[in-house]
Structure formats: C-alpha cells, structure tokens
Amino acid sequence: MTQSNLSIDPITLEVMRHALTSVAEEMNANLIRSAYSPNIKERRDCSSALFDASGQMIAQAESIPVHLGAMPYSVAAAVAAVVDLAPGDVVILNDPYAGGAHLPDVTFVAPVFAEGGGVIVAFVANRAHHADVGGKEPGSLAGDAREIYQEGLRIPPVRLWKRGTLDRDLLDLILLNVRTPDERLGDLQAQRAACAVGIDRVTELLRRHGRTGLSEAMSAIADYSERRMRDAIRRLPDGAARYEDVLDGDGTSEEAIPLRVAIRIAGDEVTVDFEGSSPQVRGPINAVEAVTVSATYYAMRALTDPEIPPNAGCYRPIRVVAPAGTVVNCCPPAPVVGGNLETSQRIVDVILGAFAALVPERAIAACQGTMNNLAIGGTDPRTGRAYSLYETMGGGYGARPDRDGIDGIHSHMTNTLNTPIEALEIAYPLRVERYELRPGTGGGGRFRGGLGIRRDIRCIDHEARASFLTDRRTSRPYGVAGGEPGERGENVLIRNGMEIGLPAKGTTFVLPGDTISIRSPGGGGYGNPAERSSEARGQDVREGRV
Amino acid sequence: MSVVIGIDIGGTFIDVVATGDGGIRIAKFPSTPHAPAEGLFAGLGQLIALGRIKPCDVRRVVHGSTVATNALLEGTWARTALITTAGFRDVLEIGRQARRDLYNLSVERQPPIVSRDLRFEVSERVASNGDVLIPLDVEEIRALGPVLRESGVESIAVVLLFSFLVPEHEREVKRVLAEELDVPITLSSDVLAEFREYERASTTVVCAALRPVIEGYLGQVEQKAKAIALPHDWQIMQSNGAVTGAGNAASEPARIVLSGPAAGVEGARLIGQLAGEPDLITLDMGGTSCDVALIRGGDISCVSSGEVAGCPIALQMADIHTIGAGGGSVAWIDTGGAMRVGPQSAGADPGPACYGRGGRAATVTDAHVALGHLLANRPIGGLPELGCTEARKAISRLAERLALSIEQAALGILEVADAAMERAIRVMTIERGHDPRGFALLAFGGAGPLHAASIARRMSIPRVLVPAAAGVLSALGLLAAEAGRDGSRSIVRPLGDVDLAAVGGIIDELIQRGREALLEEGVPEKAIAAAVSADLRYVGQSHELAVPVPEARGGRVDASTVEALEAGFHQAHRSRFGHARPEHAVEWVTVRVRVSGPAEILDLRQGWTGTLEAVETVPVWFDSHGPLETAVFERERVPADALFRGPALFVGNDATLLVPPGVSGRCDAQGAVALEVR
C-alpha cells in the first residue's frame, strides 16, 4: 500500500498504537487490581476503553468479548444526557436503554479536558459486572422477569462525581437498592480510580504530543484499524448467505424463538442484517442493540484478523441492521438480563452459520451456545447469613475443518473462570458431587464436537432457591459440512435418587439433600462422521469420550 | 575447600563461574541440549585438565538447569497416572474452563499431561470441615495395582479433594499402591497442601511426570561428579530464586521449572545489592525475546503461581514477563501501514542480515549496525565480522517503502522496539501499581545494554545499571542465592475462628521440615532462619495478600499475632489496592513458611586498573540529525570510579553498551557501569 494517505508516519503510528493501547490496558489492570468483588477481580468481567473527543472508540482492553464495541453507546448516552460536562465529572450508568447492556453491567464515563479546562480532548470509560444491582432475585439474574423494573436498579447517565466531589445523595440511593452495598461501594470506587488512571495517562500524552498531535494520533489509529479490517474483508469472497437458529424459549414459554441473519460481503464491507428475527419477547432474553453489535463484532474479529486493534475504525466496514422491537434490538420496558448472556451466544451462532457457507475453510460448527447461568441462594445454616452463588459453565466447543472441538470449555462471548470446588464448599453450604466431561455429547463428524460438562451440586442442611438461565436444552448446536449436532444440555433436580427434569430458564426450590445437576451441551461436529480417522476413533474409545 | 562453582546451562552455552579464592573466574563452553550432562562434564573435565578448577578445592556446586523446563516444553515426561476422588478425574482437563485466546476460532487446549484413560477414580470423600464423608476403600485401591502395572505407568500422582485438611487418604493410597508397583508416587498433600484442586492437581502432576526425568539427570550428574572428584551433592536453583538440594529438586521438580531465568534475576539482584540499588527493573534482551522482572526492596518479585509450558504451577516463582522483542526481531510493514518489529525473529540461523548467513530481513541488530551502535570489527559471542553492507541493504528495502533514509528507518526500527519494551515494563510496574521512576533499570543479555538508556529516557527512569559480567549473570546468581525451602498449608478460616494451637503446630511442622531439608544440604543449624507469613483476604474475596507473621519463629501464635495480622492486612490492602474495610471480617487462607540458609558473600572486584581511554572514535547515529563522533571504550578495561559522558560506546565480549549524548556515567569497583539518565 502507499504511504501518502497516512496522516502520520508508519513509525509514529506504531509507537502511538502502543501508547494509546496502554491507556486502556492500564485502566483495566487498575480496575481489576483495585476491585473488591471476585466477579471483577477473579473472573475479570470488566473492560476499559479510550475515546476521542467525538466519542469514537480508540482503544479497548477487555477480557470477555461481550463488552466488545458496546461502550461507544455508553459514551454517546453520557454526552447526550449530561450536556455541561466539567473537569472532574464522572458519569455512571447501567440502563440498557441508555448506553448499557444489562443492569449488572455498570459503566463509568469520564471526560478528559485539555489543561486549563474548556475543551474535551478525550473520554475514558470502563464497565464492570456487579454481583448484584437489586431486583427480584439475588444476583440480579431474574430468569422469570417480565419487565426491566424487576431486574434491578436502573441508573440513567448521571454524574456520581461532580467536579471531583462524590454525590453522596446519589450514592446512598444506589447503595440502598442493592443487596451487598459494601461490596458495591468497593467496586464503584475501583471504577472511579480506573477513570482517574485513564485521565492521568491521557493528560501525560497530551503534554508530550500536544492537542493536535494526540488527536491526529487517535484518528490515525482508528484509520489504521479500518484499513486492516477492510483488507481482511477484501480477502473474503463476495457473496450473500442466510442462517436461522432458535433460542429455547424466554422462560415464560418453551416456544422456540427464531433468530435470522442475512450476511452480504461486498468488496471491503460486510452487512449483517437481522431482519426477520423474532419480535421482542416477554421473558428476559431480549438484547439491546449494543449487545447485538458486540456479538457481531466478536464474530467478525474471529473470522478476520483478531490482531486488529479493536476501535471505531475496525468496525466502520461492518454494517449491522437490527430492526427495533425485535429480540435483537428491543424497546423498553422489555427485560434484558439474558440478552447479554444467552441471546448474544445465539447471535454469534447464526452469523458463523451464515459465514460457513461463504468461507468454508474458516467454518466452525456451533459451540455449546449458552453460558449455563446458575444462581443458588439461601441462608447458610453454618452462619445464619444469606449467601448467593453465581456460576457459568463451559461446554462443548464446535469442531473445525482441521480439528476437533475442545471438551468442556467456555466459548464465544464469555470466558469467565469456574469456582474451584474446594473454594465453593468452604464458602457455601453446598457440596459438588461430580465435575466431569459428558462422554458422547460431542456431535459426530470427521472432526468431533467438544464434550459438555456435568456438574452436580448438593444442597446441605438447608432450603435454597436455584435460578437457571440456560439454553440449548431443546435445540442442539449445529454441525457443519455433514457433521452431526452436539447433544443438548439438561437441567436436572435429583431428589431421593429420582431425576426430575427442570426447564431451561426459571427458578426452583431446593430441599436439604437435593442435588442440582447441570449438564451442558456438546459442540457440533464437522464433516462426515464416516471420514473420522481410525486413530481418532481409537483414542475416543480408549479415553471414554464417546 | 573454599571454592564455590555456579553452573548455568542454557540453550547455546554452559556458563561456569567460580569464586572463593579471590575474585571470580568465568568459563563458557557449548551446551549439548539433548544430552545436557555430557556437554557439561566434557567442559568441566577440560577446565580440570587445564588446572582452572581443582576438584579438591571445591566446597559447593550450584546448578541452574533447563532440564525440567525442556522436558515440559517437549513433552518428554514419564508416563504418568493420576488418582482422584470419584467424580473428579476430569478436573485436570477442564481446568478453569477458560480458553487461551478469545478470538481465535482455531484455539486449542493443551492436552493434560495425564490422558483420560490414565486418570483413575477412588471412592472417598472429605468435607470442607475435614469430616470424612466416605472412607477410603483399601481393596478398591489394591485392585488398581494390576491395572496400573498393565498400562505401563512410570509415575503416579494422587490428588484427593481436601487433602490439605486430611492428608491420610492420600497417604493410604500411596501405602497400598507402593506394595503393588515400584514407581514414584507423588501426593498433592506433600507437594502443595493448599486449596484450589485444579492448581494443586496440575502442580502435583508436573512433579510426578518430571520425577523420573530429573531423578535420572541428577543421578547421572552425581555419578559423573564423583568420577571427577567434585562434590556430588549439588544444589539446584529453584524458580523462586533460592537453591535447594538435588534430592528435593528430584522429588519435587515443579519447583525448578524456572531455574534458569530465576538465576538471571537473582544475579541481577546481586548486582543491584552491590551497587546499592534495592529497587530494580531487570531487562534481559537476547536474540529472540526480552524478559522483564522486578526486584523490590532487595527481594525478587515473586508470584505464588504461574504457568510454565502451559502447565499451571502454584508454587512461588519469580514474576517474569516475556515479549517477542530481541536483536533478531524482524521489522516489517503490516497491512494497515504501520511499522512492526517482531514477533517473528531471524533467530540464530540465518540470523540478522549482518551475520552474512543469507538473512535478508531487516532486524533490530541490523539497525544497530547501520547506525554504528555495533561495530563491524568487534562482533560479539564469537561471531565472524558483522556485515555492514548486508545490514544497510536489508534496511534499505524497508526505507524505500517508507520514503526514508536508511538511518531514519533504522532509528524507526529501534523506536518501535523500544515502544514494545516500554509496554512490557509498564505491565510489570504501572499495571502492578509501581511507579517505574522509583526504580533503576538493570540491563543485560546481548542486546539489553544497547537499549537501556533510550528506554530509561522514555520512561523517566533515572538510572541504568549494566553489570560487567552481563553474559554470565545467571551463573553469578547461582553463587549469590540463599538456600531456601518453601512450605505451606491452607486453613481457610475467619481470623477470629482460627485454632491458634493448631496453626502453631502447622508452623512448627513446616519449619521442622524445612530445617531438616537444609541440614541435609549442609547448612549449619545456627545459620538457618525461618520467615512465616499468612495469606489473608476479606471474607468473600477470592484473592489473598501475604502478611508477615510477627515473631512466629518459635511457632508461637497467640491473640496478639491475630491482632497484628489483621492490622497488617488492612494496611497491605490499602497500599496495594487503594482501599481497606476495617469493619469487614478477615480470613486466614494459607500459612506460608520460608526456611533459609545464608547466601555466599561474593567479591566481584575485577581488579581492572588504568585510566579510561578511548581506543578509537567512530561516527554513531543517535537521532536523525546526523552522526556524532563517539568515543569507544573497551568494556573490560574500565577502571573503578572512572567518570564519563555520552556519547560513548563500551564494547565488551558479550554485549555493547550504548551511552547517548547527555547521559553521564561512572564505573564501580565491581565493574558495573551506572548511567544517570535525564
């Protein structure tokens, strides 16, 4: 390519890329380091980003893809709602209908002013999943919510810090409406500290490079990512494809909910159109547009070049069409908590399903397609105190054109860690009785889908409530190129040795001695099962995987 | 009997350093990676034949070895079985259920060391309070004997749930199986008596799988050492920067997987100590990669768990961050039009273009040659003369595409490499909450001293330290290290509920175990010291902070200990994370003990004398304004206390130090050069 169209030279470009990426990474590292709750600190359910003065994202650090590309909505909402931003202001928000994704994801946005005030030169933002933001169920994961008001406290974009001073009244209001105010306060302070780190870093860069230098560098980085993404898309063959898949129901009914996508690759641009997807539903699996966009960006990064720095430019060649009022772009007051968790996974499935026809060499069979969200809450008989456990669970990874799917692992939009069994049993009145792979659950194929996981948790000496937000309990993760679908998952209550099937989404009472058994789906297979090599078959048999 | 020898085996060279009879002596010979003991003893034999080592004078031999690391990387471990609690044989495989790469659809999970068909379950269960829910069935275990024998197992790991509370079940499994077959049996309650079953299992399995390998290697070393009348009870460098006896290393090889790199950091610590710099950022830049580590308050910054060759190991190890930037890193223009350096490397063959072995790609080393930082007639490490023409030619191809001069392009390559290293240093300092401006930068490795001053300047690090023996720093580290043995036990109880007598007993036991090990290694009883610390956290958190247990030397733990720990924890939490919650309950997760013996007192004085005189002046490019006439000094003839100002080049056998204009420096009695960077 020629260099004449670059606003800054290739060397400065690379040096500034390191510098601007460091801003996002250092914010995120600081957030993880100073966070109070395990959800942010250990599971790293958070991300941080840098934006230019016009709200274009310039750099992002994330440890789970579900935050990818969703934060520009937060900055836009903050700027729209708070018109007279001043130095030292920090905006908080979690409303999915005004810059958020689902209520537990609380986002901070702070402006960075040029020295002497007056002009905004950049924004910094970070988002963290809080373990509870109120609502009808502990953990704010009400699988049976009917409207967003049941899902927890809704915070529109408002200033929690004004010119550097904490708004105590607002803070008190927030903390009164959540179950673990202590922990929340610790995490909110960590988010604010991370903003401060970002502001300091941008201010340093400003001193070093000047306003013009910094703003040129920021646009240059976005343009750079755009060029790389266009180049990567150009390498894909032009064409169009459609795909359709379903979610197992919204928790109010088990009627399948269709998601439809049409993909068009033309030159160096891609259109991802969800026209024809289900209207929004009563239960909490609606996705706001930011979530749909995140899932789309995830799929595009995975299909093109994951090394392209994620920023506004990277996404310019990607057009997302998500009709309002559908399950992929819902309107208030639809409940949304599972949109981020379950629907986002199926959005990825349909996009990758469509691409499998267009780019067969990069095709992948469906991964488990759910996060297997489980929350168990009750009173710990050992201490008399309330507890709430929230877990997600891995499952089968989809088979690829040259290799099997991975057994028992998180896929696509999440990558959070499990809770060690010994840590879980010390902290909660629960006992894990099995944690093992589910032989035979991977879809057959020349390459086999990954196996699901079984995790059995027994409730010791007390009654509890267990909430499920899971999927692929009826439908199955698809196979590709003749591969078979993965086995569906199951939620089971074991009482006195009897297995009782539970729905994919909902809440159940658990008696002392009952066991909750979550069995996650297997991944889809790739290619004709008859073509599977005899060595691979032999190994499957020897290792008890089939 | 006063000589102590340090032997560090790397991928290309074996470094031998001897001390104890005035100053230090250095020897270097080629390593034989596929039969490490052979090259080692061939070299030692020569040194003895030449009279450079007199076996009868040698009191102690300390060894840094990559044998364990290589076995892990190459998968040349023993056929190993794992015995687990029923229902949990897949814990080793599922791990923490996370994938390594978020966006790569071709992502793979590294297969666990023990395949599924060699993972066996036994019915037994201990609860989180230590109650035995299901007793062990001895007959069931005995029945495993023939199965294990038939599957040709060479080593066995036993990892049962809550064995850190109740080790008896694991011990019983070992007792029964030892009657059935004659292979080493490794218990998780011996290796790592801590909670979190996956990390414990992974660590135990690494130990079990490497035991036969390391026992074989160290057995060979012992025999061959005996044959040449050297002391045969060698000490081995562990990943935490302390040395241990060969027997301990062989039975718990997971403790030595970072032996080589830890020795380098320990060497850096020594140089810093001698130069009065307790806080160091170490930058070890070689041909293909760059390692960054920290020394804080004179101690190596360690982590309590890490990953080596994809295997989680939950043992104390030096915290080392590696990036793909080295002398051989290749510069290229990517599809977005940015100049990138690395991670591709020209390696040793063909190597950078200037090596004249057919390499065409422009590398960092070529940029240094083109700018006059590396002098063609003074090649390092026994290479032939460096090809200035080839270097310029390689860079000119890149320069043309960028419409820059060769020197501008070369300066650009270095700037990009520096930016990548700055980011690595930021990860180790700023992201961990430390201000790099409070540290000195200690640079070593073949390329470190070329970049040190410019990186320090970028990051406002005020001082740079470059050791004299930059090429054998790891071997020096072996000599400088103390003997140390870590022990731990998880208790996981709220601080208020801790059974103090029981904890006192655990501390006694851990200290006693460490003491016995050190006595066996020949550390005098009086010299043995013990440090006890507590891993604490707020109830509900899942990360811990280590807080020293005051006056626990005698194992005495009482109410005042608990009070001090609580106060210490709130303070540590505040300083590390910026906030504390004094009203919140604190949990005591793990008891840690480090039993140690003193380090050798080292005298590194080189006895170099004379005045600082330039051997020549050469034109060197520092920026795009043109070359400066620059004085060239011989690194090894630098007298103590000599002062100088940049621009200057110090040319040594294994590295060149680049001193830009505006930087002043001095040499110390140990031969280290300190630069003041402003």
Residue-wise pLDDT tens digits, B250-279: 999 999 999 989 999 999 999 999 899 999
DSSP H helices, B302-387, are: 364-370
Q: How far is A3 from chain B (nearest CA, A)?
A: 7
DSSP single-letter state for residue B639? P
Strands (E), A34-180: 46-52, 57-62, 90-93, 105-113, 120-129, 158-162, 165-166
Sequence length of chain B is 678
Give A443→chain B minimum CA distance, Å. Answer: 17
The better pLDDT of the pair B413, B382 is held by B413
pLDDT digits (tens, 9 = 90+) for A175-213: 999 988 888 998 999 999 999 999 999 999 999 999 999
Alpha-carbon distance of B140 to A327, in angstroms, equals 54
Among candidate residues B248, B276, B255, B367, the one with its CA nearest the CA of residue B622: B367
Mean pLDDT lowest among B401-405, B613-617, B651-655: B651-655
Report DSSP state, residue A147.
S
Distances in whole angstroms, Cα of residue B585 to Cα of each of A42, A138, B62, B490: 20, 22, 45, 18
Residue length of chain A:
546
| Pick from A64, A200, A202, A53: nearest CA to A119 | A53
Q: Are A536 and A404 in contact (CB under 8 A)?
A: yes
Please report, in angstroms and rounded to a whole number, the separation of the first and last CA atoms in chain A: 51
Partner B, chain A 304-333, Cβ-Cβ below 8 Å: 306, 308
| A3: pLDDT strictly greater than 50 | no
Task: Give B609's pLDDT tier (boundaries 50, 70, 90).
Answer: low
Q: Would you call A30 and B543 a contact, using CB atoms and an 8 Å cutoff?
A: no
Q: Which of A166-175, A176-185, B364-373 has the lowest mean pLDDT?
A: A176-185
CA distance A425 to B129: 9
Beta carbons of B283 and B444 less than 8 angstroms apart: yes
Please give the Cα distance from A494 to A431 (Å, whole number): 14
Over residues A40-99, the pLDDT tens digits come to 887 788 999 999 999 999 999 988 888 878 899 999 999 999 999 999 999 999 999 999
Q: How far is CA A19 from CA A38, A120, B587, in A?
A: 29, 19, 39
User: Residues of B with CB below 8 A from A415's CB?
Assistant: 98-99, 102
The band of A280, judged by pLDDT with boundaries at 50, 70 and 90, is: very high
pLDDT tens for residues A218-234?
A: 999 999 999 999 999 99
- State ipTM: 0.95
A19 touches chain B (CB under 8 A): yes
Over residues A150-172, mean pLDDT? 97
Could you tell me if A204 lies within 8 Å of chain B, comparing CB atoms? no
Three-class SS state of A220: helix
d(CA B454, CA B418): 8
A295: nearest CA in chain B?
Answer: B103
Q: Are A148 and A333 in contact (CB under 8 A)?
A: yes
User: What does the alpha-carbon distance between residue A223 and residue A221 come to, in Å, rounded to a whole number?
Assistant: 5
Q: Touching check for A364 and chain B: CB below 8 Å?
A: yes
| Nearest residue to B434 (alpha-carbon basis) of B580, B295, B284 | B295
Is A431 in CB contact (< 8 Å) with chain B? yes
Give Dmax over CA atoms of chain B in angstroms: 83
Contacts of residue B645, Cβ cutoff 8 Å, sequence gap at least 6 = B659, B663, B664, B665
Identity of the residue in B128, B402, B579 whose CB atom sits nearest the CB atom of A10: B402
The Cα of A80 is separated from the nearest Cα of chain B by a number of Å equal to 32
Sole residue written with tokens 């409406």: A177
**Looking at per-residue confidence, does B647 or B652 come out higher?**
B647
Q: Please give the angle made by the CA atoms of B457, B460 and B464, to the nearest 5 degrees.
A: 65
Instruction: Indicate yes or no: CB of B99 within 8 angstroms of CB of A411.
Output: yes
Per DSSP, helices labelled H in B165-274 are 168-180, 188-191, 197-227, 246-251, 259-274
Least confident window among A176-185, A348-357, B435-444, B575-584: B575-584
Please give the structure tokens belonging to residue B434.
């430390």
0.90 exceeded by pTM: yes
User: What 3-state class would DSSP assign to A414?
Assistant: coil
Q: Under DSSP, is residue A474 helix (H, G, I), strand (E, B) or coil? A: coil
Q: Determine the pLDDT at residue A1.
A: 39
Residue from B1, B544, B17 nearest B266 by CA: B17
B372/B367 Cα distance (integer angstroms)? 9
| CB contact A264 to B (< 8 Å) | no
Pairing of strands A498-502, A505-510: unpaired
pLDDT digits (tens, 9 = 90+) for A352-370: 999 999 998 899 999 999 9
pLDDT at A2: 38
Q: A63 to chain B: which residues are within 8 Å by CB? A: 102
Please give the angle made by the CA atoms of B260, B318 and B672, to the nearest 5 degrees.
70
- Residue B658 CA to residue A537 CA, distance in Å, equals 59
Greater model confidence, B541 or A154? A154
Q: What is the mean pLDDT of residues B308-330?
A: 92
B93 to chain A: which residues are within 8 Å by CB? 407-408, 437
DSSP annotation of A343 reads I
CB contact under 8 A, B102 and A65: yes
Return d(Cα A542, Cα B42) in angstroms, integer.
45
Q: What is the mean pLDDT of residues A408-427?
A: 94
Residues with Cβ within 8 Å of residue A463, at least 6 apart in sequence: A378, A509, A510, A511, A512
- What does pLDDT average to over chain A? 94
pLDDT of residue B606: 62
What beta strand segments (E) does B568-615 contain?
Answer: 586-597
Report d(CA A402, CA B554) in Å as an integer: 61
Tokens of B529: 């010291």
Is residue B552 scored above 60 in pLDDT?
A: no
Mean pLDDT of chain B: 91
